[in-house]
Amino acid sequence: MSVSPAPGRPAEDWWKSAVVYQVYVRSFADADGDGVGDLAGVRSRLPYLRDLGVDALWLTPFYRSPMVDGGYDVADYRDVDPVFGTLADFDHMITDAHALGLRIIVDIVPNHTSDAHPWFTAALASPPGSAERDRYLFRDGRGPGGDLPPNDWESIFGGPAWTRVPDGQWYLHLFDPAQPDLNWRHPEVRAEFEDVLRFWLDRGVDGFRIDVAHGMIKAEGLPDVGDGVPAGQRQVELLGRARLPYFDQDEVHDIYRAWRPILDSYPGGRMAVAEAWAETPQRLARYIGPDELHQAFNFDFLDATWSADSFRKVIDTALAEATIVGAPTTWVLSNHDKQRHVTRYGDGALGLRRARAAALMMLALPGSVYLYQGEELGLPEVLDLPDELRQDPAFRRTGESRDGCRVPLPWSGDVPPYGFGPAGAAPAWLPAPPTWRARSVTAQTGVPDSTLELYRAALRLRRDHPALPGDPAGAGDPAGAGGPAGAGGPAGAGGPAGAGGVRWRESEPGVLAFSRAAPAGAPELTCVVNFGDEPVTVRDYGTPILTSELLAGDADGTTLPTDTAGWFVRPVTG
């Protein structure tokens, strides 16, 4: 069964306002009881996701892999790793998802393969200068005997980006040594990935999340980064501030110009979202457009600190960028690489309170939203995992670990792993803390002030309310009607609403308030967030329909406590 479009929107445009739920497959649900999540587990929980109210799932890599980097080290791009199931499990899962109206986005990892990929084992078995080595980036070393790496590039996971092989040559790996970088100037590499795209499109996937989308092409000659890196910093810290010779090279766009016609040749709006980092918003915008990719993650929103000024700035920038590229932006607060936002915002009750407010702010903005599994449960980062259980390869090299945001989800019950696996299952691959008993899906279901019920209510309203959230080309948003596909006016310009139908309202310092335009006759919706230290009285925006904390009201208006957000509706007058 095909998936029907949101009301008022052509099927091809579904992604423009979609809520996409990121499933970190290893940690979502374990159907076979081996302690690791799997595709059958995803399938079994699809009704939960449909009821939560999301539109699509992004599944992190489930391909054959030695799992050095949690599956971002792929040994076979056309098969499912046995730990996650089989291709038949994938087919059953996607059939059920589509029947429930859920779309499926899969991760594609084109910058590097696993060192267990047959291409790499063939490269190691072949001599320097061979055709087999040319699919990767093998080079002779520098210095006497070639004992020094070919250049000064650093791995994102720490240490040099080069590893030496027994015959003396070195190969490039921007990540772990078990993740050798491919040579994207090689026609076979390009042909292979075009075929991999078709393989998954033929199996019905609705889109791709492109891993390290800015990394595939390296500057000709592999020049040194040089000494522009401040003392004590790592090269990767320049990301987003300076151009590195291994990121965001112009020729990478040729790859996406070749991929787009492939996506467009399939019906129903197959899309691609880039994990890309670039020096400026203008350079990031070059990844997006009718002849390249549909979207890129807006990590500035994730990186914003908890203040009105910080969020105002990133929202304005994102809306302006959406105007540049002619497509709505994306909003994301957490993912499998970053500390969970409950913890970033202060942890404990404070962090949770802010996270709930942030969710209402995010879900009221125009564009698409990427939720990370467990944020709907208000899960914090697990900070005290024993070192010996940590699996992130970056941990051994830098001491930093992403395992704390990857702890398996609590579904039900009183004892670990809280329903992650069936009764009698092996312990989960990372242990959930005892406090997660109260955070499980069943513990929160039907509890009116739980974070899960807040997300459910917000997602329901986002779907049903005429002012939310759509994009300027969608129904319920007159601001962009008749304009170029997806583009609104510049923020604050002209009509009643600026980019994406967002109209900033005057508010006191520490408070953000923006209204979403509604079609004629429908009530306008205003989202107000109080980042300040004191409660504020909110007037003029109408009646609260959803708030992140309980509010008190009196004749003067509604009191919005600190670290709280609310959605207010008022009939449009005049």
Question: Which residues belong to the active site?
Answer: 211, 275
Could you give the C-alpha distances from 8 to 225, 332, 463, 476, 549, in angstroms and in order? 49, 25, 12, 8, 32
Q: Residue 55 or residue 69: which is nearer to ligand GLC going by CB?
A: 69
Q: At closest approach, how far in Å is the CB of 144 from ligand GLC?
A: 33
Contacts of 518 (CB under 8 A, 6+ apart): 466, 467, 476, 524, 525, 572
The rounded distance, in Å, linking the Cα atoms of 275 and 277 is 7
Q: Quick one: 510 exposed, middle or buried, by C-beta within 10 A (0-12, 13-18, 19+)?
A: middle
The CB density around residue 195, as the number of other CB atoms within 10 Å, is: 12
80 binds ligand GLC (CB under 6 A): no
Q: At closest approach, how far in Å is the CB of 373 from ligand GLC?
A: 14
Contact predicate 479/500, CB 8 Å: yes
Q: At closest approach, how far in Å is the CB of 302 from ligand GLC?
A: 12
Of 80, 109, 342, 513, which one interacts with ligand GLC (CB under 6 A)?
A: 109
HEC profile of 339-371: CCHHHHCCCHHHHHHHHHHHHHHHHCCCCEEEE
Helix (H, G, I), strand (E, B) or coil at 186: coil
Q: At closest approach, how far in Å is the CB of 212 from ligand GLC?
A: 5
Of 21, 90, 175, 372, which one interacts with ligand GLC (CB under 6 A)?
A: 175
Q: At closest approach, how far in Å is the CB of 269 from ligand GLC?
A: 24
The CB density around residue 556, as the number of other CB atoms within 10 Å, is: 9
- Per DSSP, 375 falls in state G
211 binds ligand GLC (CB under 6 A): yes
Q: Which amino acid is at 197?
A: L
Q: At closest approach, how far in Å is the CB of 337 from ligand GLC?
A: 5
Q: Residue 40 or residue 333: which is nearer to ligand GLC going by CB?
A: 333
345 binds ligand GLC (CB under 6 A): no
Q: Quick one: 159 exposed, middle or buried, by C-beta within 10 A (0-12, 13-18, 19+)?
A: middle
| Residues of span 462-491 touching ligand GLC by CB under 6 A | none
The rounded distance, in Å, linking the Cα atoms of 564 and 547 is 7
Q: Which of 243, 253, 251 is nearest to 223 (CA)?
A: 243
Q: Residue 299 or residue 311: which is nearer to ligand GLC going by CB?
A: 299
Q: At closest approach, how far in Å is the CB of 287 from ligand GLC?
A: 15
Q: Residue 69 or residue 563: which is nearer to ligand GLC going by CB?
A: 69
Task: Look up tokens 């708030």; give the residue.
Answer: 547
Of 337, 347, 453, 549, which one interacts with ligand GLC (CB under 6 A)?
A: 337
Q: Quick one: 118 exposed, middle or buried, by C-beta within 10 A (0-12, 13-18, 19+)?
A: exposed
Contact predicate 58/105, CB 8 Å: yes
Structure tokens at 34: 């081996």
Q: At closest approach, how far in Å is the CB of 156 from ligand GLC?
A: 7
297 binds ligand GLC (CB under 6 A): no
69 binds ligand GLC (CB under 6 A): yes
- Cα-Cα-Cα-Cα torsion 178, 184, 187, 190, nearest 10 degrees, comes to 80
Contact predicate 473/6, CB 8 Å: no
Site mask, ligand GLC, residues 270-289, x = CB under 6 A? Answer: -----x--------------
Cis peptide before 417 (omega within 30 of 0): yes
Q: At closest approach, how far in Å is the CB of 502 from ligand GLC?
A: 29
Contact predicate 418/441, CB 8 Å: no
Of 72, 200, 247, 429, which one interacts with ligand GLC (CB under 6 A)?
A: 72
Q: Which residues lie near ligand GLC (CB under 6 A)?
A: 69, 72, 109, 175, 211-212, 275, 336-337
